[in-house]
Structure 1
Amino acid sequence: MYSDAIDPEHLRLQSDKHSQGTPTAAAGKGADAASQSGRQPEAHSLYSRESATPNGRIFLSGQQALVRLLLSQSALDRANGLRTAGFVSGYRGSPLGGVDRELMKSKDVLESADIRFLPAINEDLAATALIGTQRVETDPKKRFDGVYGLWYGKGPGVDRSGDAIKHGNFYGSSPNGGVLVVTGDDHGCVSSSMSHQSDRTLMAWGLPVIHPAGLADYERCGLWGWALSRVSGLWVGFKAITETVEATTSVESSPLPGFVTPDIDPGPDGLHWRWPDLPGMQIERRLPYKFDAARAFALANPIDIAVTAPEQPRLVIGAIGKAYGDVRQALQQGGVSLEQLESAGVALLKINLVYPLSPVLEAWAKRADQVLIVEEKQAIVEEQLKQALYNAESGQRAVILGKRDESGAPLISDHEELRPSRLATMLQQRLQGLGITLRVPEYWYLPAVSRTHDWIRRTPYLCSGCPHNTSTRVPEGSEARLGIGCHAMAARMPERATSGSVQMGGEGVDWLGQAPFVETPHIFQNIGDGTFFHSGYLAIRQAIAAGATITYKLLHNDAVAMTGGQPIDGKLTVKKAVELMQAEGAHRVVVVADDPQRFEAPGSLPQGVELFHRERLEEVQRQLRETRGVSVLVFDQVCAIEGRRRKKQLPTPVMKTEVLINEAVCEGCGDCQVKSNCLSVTPVATPFGTKRRIDPHGCNTDLSCIKGFCPSFVTVTGKPRAQYRRQADSRQVLARAEALALPSSCSLETPYEMLLAGIGGTGIVTVARTVALAAHLDGRAVSVLDFTGFAQKGGSVLSHVRLANAADVLHQHRIDLGGADLLLAADLVVASEDDALTTLRAGKTVVIANTAQTQTGAMLRNTELRIETAAIQAFLKQRVGAEHYHALDAAQLANNLVDPMQANMLLLGYAWQRGTVPVSLQALKEAIDQAGSAAANHLAFAWGRLWAQEPAFVMPYLDPASNDVSPVSIIDLAARRESIERLVETRSVFLTHYQDAAYAARYRQVIERLRSTPAIGDDSPLTEAVARNLFKLMAYKDEYEVARLLTDSRFMAPIKARFESGVRLKFHFALPLMRNRKDGNGEPKKIAVSGWVLPLLKVLAKGRVLRHTRFDPLGWSAERREERRLLLDYEQTLQRLLPNLSAENLPLFVEWANLPDSIRGYGHVKERSIAAARQREKELIVQIVAGTHSLSVAPVVETWLPQSTLAPQPPKGEARDVKQAS
């Protein structure tokens, strides 16, 4: 074996910085010193262009490191006198979801280096294109000496590209070309249907595999991989796992390396691409010669490093790729130095070559008593080493440990991601016998801090206005299958009956194997336009060929939204898609669009294709599920976020349309949320219960919400005023903040670790990278790791930021158990998740929390769900200590002071002023300048600083109408319990305006009688429940009340304040006389009525004097009669039940008294809630009166409930009785 000739001393670590798979930086530079001494040009590199920065200290992401790698290979070739070109192709997918964006941004610098980027429509075709690059060198018409290629794709893309990669590898690379296969392996299944470890797959196809330990290794390993490919004729695998490629770090760029070309035997058939090379055994016969060449190259150019090199090794620790950082961090945390290891005879090896077996590892293993292989996921290197040493001489057969120990017991997990805390105890036990004491931190032994309550979780969700909010609905009784894309989130929505999971491009084909054996006649299959263009077209072709009965819903959104809104790699128009489907033989093809006018021009759609508005989706789907054979529904609506981006690129429109909800009219039923499934329809707590409000900053004006069966919606079109509320002069604010005393900062001799917890799409990643860039500019060592996955869809984001004076104390990117110095909780829901809580440590971690509540997707389907803000805050405070917990409503402050989108930057300003973000002010300012929206972010940062130190300066600029923003959450304030006197008084005033003083007096009389009952009194929860719910039943919203509230000056005044004169209003009603007109869902159809109706509404509002009289023309409808019946029943039942009140059944009484709160909405929505409340009322009456669940319900109900509750018709003269009673 080649390893027999290796000189271990040659592999000895020359400089500790070369062993680091993590950042390096100038040691000992403090933040203040760095800010005052002036920065070197390399430290000033543009954030978005680190890929083109010359040698020196640079700050770059994993995606940028891959771009830089291409440029480095070009520079290396030119330095060696070669005129080569580069070629890169692949398909996006997390953790490589942003590679194509970075390549597109770097287009000019890549082209100047003769590097071409081909965005492929799928991974296997990208790999096929790479095959062509290796033919250039033998082409007589070549324009370059050779072409080096880079293929990229996430784990599933590797799997599907096997045939292409195997062909390319077996036929060979070229001597001046070479191919690097970058595999995005999601070891932790952060953003994949299953975790991926591509090592075995690549090995089976005959590819060497290298695994960089961190970003600092990317250039070294990548250039080594291309050199290996050129020498051996093999394609080379390059593992880019989530924890490295998703990181952003400050690294030291080294001079370009040189490589030794060893003497090799090319065999009778050669190693590289050649022609003719017709199919035959000679192709496979070349492979052993190629691997001999690879081993010779690895021996002549060692990529693996002996970090400690004892003369007589007793134990060899071989740490593979990213696991090296985990081992180093565990040793450092346990107080074990490299010198201690070497003195005790421990050789620590940093292994980047996974396959074939590292000659460095093999040479050291033959000299040791024991070898411990530490590698993440399944054993790859360990198995090779065992095989290599199996026939070795007796003195060269070490005991090899790894996934199992000497006795066969589990030692290192083969399925979990590794952490220092998960390795520490194992390392402690192994080193103890060698006289080394590794002190495992006590907090690593303790049970992990985790949530003790089943609080609501923040899961990924469809964006506001997303087409999938509508397109993924199915008719009742139908089933749908999910596919790859954002629309897969429909599987989280039980009412959408969406299930199943297959590989990308297999959508619907699984139904062909299921359908013959089940009674279900038909299913819907969702497929995105990106997937259709990628490979899904063949799935539809297969279904048509099989004669299946299935409807494909082709969701045409004009963007690959799941990975950031990139364009589809080609042009797929609706017309082209339907023409393809017709040509394939689909039985019926229809187009459903949010704006059908786009297709009304002649020739927009081919003949035979039907066109419908999206409002008729339900109707169309019901027709299609009755269609035999394959039908195709193309749902056309632009991705909401991509549409928002495009609008931002247009000139600012003079007129703007906003959707408003009159919260006084709103019943809080949530039907608008059901209709729209939109996160921008948010709950808002008011003194009269939880209502709904449109978040104008998140709204993408999809307008689906106005289909909610409710008259509270008003659309406003007009020219927004430049300034409609008091704002401070930005120069004054910045100057005031500049005058603040600078906070004291901590030493960074040991790592300072910050965890930022927030919501995807709100800028939390930007804040993390701003801090990291500032630390880089300060001369610090820094890393930031973002765990996002699906988070850009409103899910959880955790950004791990680690800072230190020098890189030799930063070995990993993730914050381990109890390691956080600061938890910047931009969202309390995310901060209460286990992955965040486990980083906390009492007495160490400071928590700075934004108490603003942002609803989750689950809250759209269950209007009773609440974010337990107070409970989460109490839990966090208890975990870290009250003195380490600070809270503010950053969202409300930002809304008042700058812009809601800057809430996280304001939170950062607050945290920095409190001394919890140890970077210099000057560096932060420079970092903010490079992050975009600089002016607004500087202002938000200044306001945050001022709120931390001079809140009195800030208070006058806060809008009093938006509630108090001092330390309590605004929603907690709104829900704060009123005194009973105040509660009754405010409702009495309301009822006076609603009807008259006598009606209000009736309300007060009922409450006074209740308060005078000895068993109840003022403080009883029953008194409050009756006061709230009796009022609700009395103030039912008939046509008169809706008209009064819509024309109330308190609703109209803010509209006039926010828009200039000439504003156009539209009200959205389902008029009583038009209830027979139904929409596509069979519900009463709403119409838009312009502002001319306002005078008529004011007249209608005055008609309330007719309410409760026989002259009321609107009071005889079934809905109005039912509302009056509810009021009478409530009063009568209360009086009959009160004698049964006891301390034991008080909770049941309170629940009964609160039942009217569950009666919400208008029309058919309200009818459903009334039926549910009636049923629950019967159950509660049984329990209150009989005190047991075992008694029959009917006799008790007939005895105790008013007959009007049981009868379908009101008694004669009921309307007159109500009037007399009032």
Structure 2
Amino acid sequence: LELSLDDLAAAGVRLYKVGLSFPIEQTRMIDFARDLAQILVIEEKAPIVEGQLRDLFYNGPHGVRPIITGKRDALGAEQISSIGELRPSRLIETVANWLAQHSPALDRRHNVVDFTQPQLLSNAADAVKRIPYFCSGCPHNTSTRVPQGSRAQPGIGCHFMASWMDRATSGQIQMGGEGVDWAGHGPFSRTPHLFQNLGDGTYYHSGYLAIRQSVAAQSNITYKILFNEAVAMTGGQPVDGTLPVDAMARQVEAEGVKALAIVSDNIAQYDAIRNRFPAYTTFHDRDKLDQVQRMLRDVPGVTVLIYQQACAAVKRRRRKKGEMADPAKRLFINQTVCEGCGDCGVQSNCLSIMPVETEFGRKRAINQSSCNKDYTCAKGFCPSFVVVNGGTLRKRAGVLRDAGSDALAARIDQLPPPAAHAWSGPYDLLVTGVGGTGIITVGALLAVAAHLEHKFSSVLDFMGFAQKGGAVLSFVRFAEQREHLNQVRIDTQQADAFLACDLVVGASNDALQTVRHGRTRILANIHETPIPESLRNPDADLHVEALLEKMRHAAGAEWVETFDAQELAEQFLGDTIVSNILAMGYAWQRGLIPLGLRAMIRAIELNEVAVDMNKMAFNLGRLAAADPQALNALRGAAAPAGRAGTTVDELIAHREAHLHAYQDAAYARRYRALVDRLRGAEQALSGAQDKLPLTEKVAFNFAKLMAYKDEY
């Protein structure tokens, strides 16, 4: 608002910062309030201080009876929210109006506009969201399914994410209260039975008490105890205590459950120890989960299903450490056979099943880097799966392997540095991306680099379920003086620069509200990272252009620059894992990071993780930003050719040849005859010779129909 403390004092406005909110120190407060007409109380959440001031001054002596406002103004209208954080942008309008009412000399309402929520663009990309999801091969992909006609309630843990999947799962309850709400409303519901999900960590903590409560209440409920051997939601820590499946089974037997079933992806492991379980225990492979659940829901009273399968992330760590056998079996999808129906994604609910665009349309591929070898994707009726036994993945060789790295170093030495930043206050950089890809690492590296230059910084990471592929926003603030960093969050319209490592997160309202039109520079990575919606909808579209349009609307078209970090990383380094470090190098070369090169490189070295690869990725990003032509020289060849069928004639000729090879010449002529007949009709109606959208669609899809696989 451009008001100093002297300006406020001259207008008779005092400031008092409460140290202890309850109980307040009354003597100082009375002295502060003497001769004041009104006190505006600003506090988060409930009006704790405000209520005490009303009690203190209600019967106060003359001269110490100010009007108390805060959550409501003097007329009783809502004024300051009791919900959420009270950062400056949420207070500035209220404070500016309050000051203007008390003194015209303090009217600074014209300054409010740069700190209020900007008008963001609404378009076709509004529905595109980066939501957290189960990891590839997660046991919850299977265990949280319920039979048709049943419904489930979630508990505390990763399995809560079933709430936003098509799993008939809803509700919310505290840890240790799982199923207790059903004990209350179950008798008044037409629903005869409920499934209640319960993690093994929660069970050991307090969940078994919830089972005891349900037994006492004589509820009709099946507890699905999801035994995955880890507290996976917070990073895969071991469960407190050591309670094996057989001991857990004996414990629930003692609580009085009516039936007990054990389900596992390796049910044979219990063959030799079945005598440790209650006599009425049944054992089943996970393929029989639906049948087992149907059986349990028909048993009156409380029943328990223990679903045992190790957490996919824990399996991955154990295999890397040699603590667990790594199956010498991998699945691949033959894209020539694949029809792109997406049933493999429906069967497995696995994010490693990814859409891939080919000259024959959208197909599916298995991301071998993230695949945790659960193999449920092959359960659908599909002839396109190829099983490779005994093979190992061949690491892709990037352009910069061996001698190429020396060529990169030679070109990097010739790059001019970006212009030095002129410090006049704090510098705010927002970094956004997908959880688990290194966004938090980028923020940490920037903070270390600032420290090495004796500058001050703060980093605030918004992660949520980010480790499960959700959205990450990292607010990074730099300053030459500590007092310039008053808060750690980048407030509304205050970002100087914005590195969007993922378009979906970058175009979200939470990210774009920090952008000011004509001020914030945006560097956007346009690589298309699929969203979970692609598992349910094989034709899901990221709406890349619409996402970019949101950014251009927020910042101004000339303030937005794009590049593809994953494509560069894979082509030159053979691995996309360093994409975000590459993006950081690109941003540094473009002047979006106000730190020196030596500090940036040293921060990467101090991180002590894949140092050479990360330094190479950082420098590759610099080269891509400063000298794109040098990349072509390093590449040593032209860019890959585009997809076949760039014109209608080329498309028709390509598909005709394909159908000839698929069956015979007569089959290809049948295709050509229909397409030519349609083309003539469309040309006659439209008068156009080249732009024939209907002909192009039919030429593409009629060939697809005629070449559909015999198995279907």
Q: In 2, Cα distance between the equivalents of 1:961 and 1:826? A: 26
Q: Which residue of 2 aligns with 1:926?
A: 602
Are 2:468 and 1:793 aligned?
Answer: yes
In the alignment, which of 42, 53, 60 is matched to residue 374 of structure 1?
A: 42
Superposition deviation, residue 946 in structure 1: 1.3
CA distance in 2, matches of 1:504, 1:461: 21
What do the CA deviations read for 1:249-274 (whole angstroms, capped 9, x no partner)? xxxxxxxxxxxxxxxxxxxxxxxxxx
Q: What residue in structure 2 maps to residue 1187 of structure 1?
A: none
Asked if the contact 1:458–1:796 (Cα under 8 Å) also holds between the matched residues in 2, the reply is yes
Are positions 1:351 and 2:18 aligned together?
A: yes
What residue is the counterpart of 1:398 in the other structure? 66
Paired with 1:938 and 1:993, the residues of 2 have a C-alpha distance of 48
Superimposed CA distance per residue, residues 970-1016 of structure 1 (whole angstroms, 9 cap, x where no aligned partner): xxx76x97210110111122112111233223322322232233226
1:1022 maps to 694
Contact kept, 8 Å, 1:351 with 1:361, in 2: the verdict is: no
| CA displacement at 1:416 relative to structure 2 | 3.8
Is the Cα contact below 8 Å between 1:847 and 1:886 reproduced in 2? yes
Shift of 1:871: 1.7
Cα distance in structure 2, aligned partners of 1:578 and 1:655: 29
Which amino acid counterpart does residue 925 of structure 1 have in structure 2? Answer: I
Q: What CA distance in whole angstroms lies between the structure 2 residues aligned with 1:1037 and 1:662?
A: 12
Aligned partner of 1:622 among 272, 279, 294: 294
Amino acid at match of 1:482: P
Residue 243 of structure 2 corresponds to 572
In the alignment, structure 1 residue 417 sits paired with structure 2 residue 85: yes
Which of residues 399, 409, 416 is equivalent to 1:741? 416
Q: 2:315 touches 2:324 (CA, 8 Å); kept in 1?
A: no
Aligned partners of 2:35 and 2:63 also within 8 Å: no
**Which of 430, 444, 448 in structure 2 is aligned with 1:773?**
448
Separation in structure 2 between the aligned mates of residue 804 and residue 724 of structure 1, nearest angstrom: 41
Equivalent residue number for residue 195 of structure 2: 524
Partner amino acid, structure 2, of 1:383: G
Aligned twin of 1:688? 360
Q: Give, as a single letter, the amino acid of the residue that structure 1 aligns with 2:22.
A: Y
Deviation at residue 954 of structure 1 after TM alignment: 2.6
CA RMSD of aligned residues (A): 2.5
Alignment of 1:269-668 (within 5 A): 334-358=1-25, 362-367=29-34, 369=36, 370-432=38-100, 433-434=102-103, 435-438=105-108, 440-444=111-115, 447-453=118-124, 454-494=126-166, 496-602=167-273, 605-608=276-279, 609-650=281-322, 657-668=329-340
Q: Partner of 1:53 in structure 2?
A: none
Instruction: Confirm or deny that 1:913 pairs with 2:589.
Output: yes
Which of 608, 616, 624 is the equivalent residue of 1:939?
616
Moved more, 614-623 or 450-459: 450-459
Match of residue 391, structure 2, among 718, 722, 729: 718
Q: What is the Cα deviation at residue 944 of structure 1?
A: 0.9
2:348 is equivalent to residue 699 of structure 1: no
Structure 2 residue 662 is the aligned partner of structure 1 residue 1003 = no
**Is the 1:851–1:869 contact (alpha carbons within 8 Å) kept by the matching residues of 2?**
yes
Task: Quote how far apart the aligned CAs of 1:436 are.
Answer: 3.1
For 2:285 and 2:696, locate their aligned partners in 1 and report how far apart those are by CA, in whole Å: 48
How big is the shift at 1:738?
4.1
For 1:766-795, what per-residue CA distance to the aligned partner results, in whole angstroms no more than 9, with x for missing partners?
112211221222222211111111222211
Match of 1:856 in 2: 531
After TM superposition, the score normalised by the length of structure 2 is 0.92
CA-CA distance at 1:363 after TM superposition: 4.7
Q: Deviations over 1:932-964 (max 9, x none)?
A: 333322221111111112223333666999957
Aligned length: 697
Q: Which amino acid aligns with 1:393?
A: P
**Structure 1 residues 42-57: aligned runs within 5 Å:** none
Residues in 2 aligned to 1:654 and 1:356: alpha-carbon distance in whole angstroms: 61
Q: Match of 2:469, as an amino acid?
A: G
- The answer to whether the 8 Å contact 2:96/2:112 transfers is no
**Distance in 2 between the 1:446 and 1:357 partners?**
34
**Alignment CA distance shift 1:731-1:383 (3 Å):** farther
The CA distance in 2 between the partners of 1:736 and 1:901, in whole Å, is 23
Alpha-carbon displacement from aligned partner over 1:616-652 (angstroms, at most 9, x marks no partner): 1112112212222221111111122222223333389
Q: Given the superposition, is the C-alpha separation of residues 1010 and 879 from structure 1 closer, same or farther in structure 2, using an over 3 Å criterion? A: same
Secondary structure in 2 aligned to 1:601? helix
Q: Read off the aligned partner of 2:653 and give its amino acid letter.
A: E
The 5 A counterparts of 1:15-414 are 334-358=1-25, 362-367=29-34, 369=36, 370-414=38-82
- Gaps of at least 5 residues in structure 2 are none
Contact preservation (8 Å) 1:785, 1:799: yes
Shift of 1:655: 7.9
Match of 1:1197 in 2: none
Q: How far is 1:605 from its partner?
A: 4.5
Moved more, 596-605 or 942-951: 596-605
Say whether 1:812 aligns with 2:487: yes
> Do the aligned residues in 2 keep the contact of 1:575 with 1:604 (CA within 8 Å)?
no
Between 657-666 and 425-434, report the one with greater CA deviation: 425-434
SS in 2 for 1:353: coil
When structure 1 is superposed on structure 2, of 889-898 and 733-742 the one drifting more is: 733-742
Q: Which of 838, 847, 868 lines up with 2:522 in the alignment?
A: 847
- What SS does the corresponding residue of 2:499 show, helix, strand or coil? strand
Contact map agreement 2:201 2:239 (CA 8 A) in 1: yes
Where does structure 1 differ by over 6 angstroms across 4 or more consecutive aligned residues?
Answer: 651-655, 959-962
1:950 aligns with 2:618: no
DSSP-derived class of the 1:507 partner: coil
Deviation at 1:474, TM superposition (A): 0.7
Mapped contact 1:558–1:567 kept (Cα < 8 A): yes
Q: Tell me which residue corresponds to 2:432.
A: 757
* Contact 1:654-1:719 at 8 Å conserved across structures: no
CA contact (8 A) 1:762 1:901 kept: yes
Q: Give unmatched runs, 5+ long, in structure 1.
A: 1-333, 965-972, 1040-1161, 1163-1222
Distance 2:359 2:392 in 1: 32
Query: What is the alpha-carbon distance in structure 2 between the residues aligned to residue 444 and residue 740 of structure 1?
Result: 38
Q: Distance in 1 between matches of 2:223 and 2:159?
A: 13
Q: Give how far 1:594 is off.
A: 1.4
SS in 2 for 1:755: strand
| Alpha-carbon offset, residue 665 of structure 1 | 0.9
Tell me the equivalent position of 2:512. Answer: 837
CA distance in 2, matches of 1:961, 1:696: 27
Q: Confirm or deny: 8 A CA contact 1:449 1:840 kept in the other structure.
A: no
Indicate conservation of the 8 Å contact 2:249/2:278, yes or no.
no
- Checking the alignment, whether the CA contact within 8 Å between 2:399 and 2:572 is kept in structure 1 is no
Residues 408, 888 of structure 1: alpha-carbon distance in 2 compared, 3 angstrom cutoff: same
Q: Which amino acid aligns with 1:563?
A: T
1:728 to 370, 377, 401: 401
The answer to which of 335-344 and 753-762 deviates more is 335-344
Give secondary structure in 2 for the equivalent of 1:792: helix
Q: 1:198-253 deviations in whole A, cap 9, x for unaligned?
A: xxxxxxxxxxxxxxxxxxxxxxxxxxxxxxxxxxxxxxxxxxxxxxxxxxxxxxxx
TM-score between the two structures when normalised by the length of structure 1? 0.55
Q: Which residue of 1 aligns with 2:544?
A: 869
State the distance in 2 between where 1:409 and 1:648 align: 61
Structure 1 stretch 812-821 or stretch 351-360: which is displaced more? 351-360
In structure 2, distance between residues paired with 1:657 and 1:704: 13
Q: 8 Å contact 1:553–1:634 — kept in the other structure?
A: yes
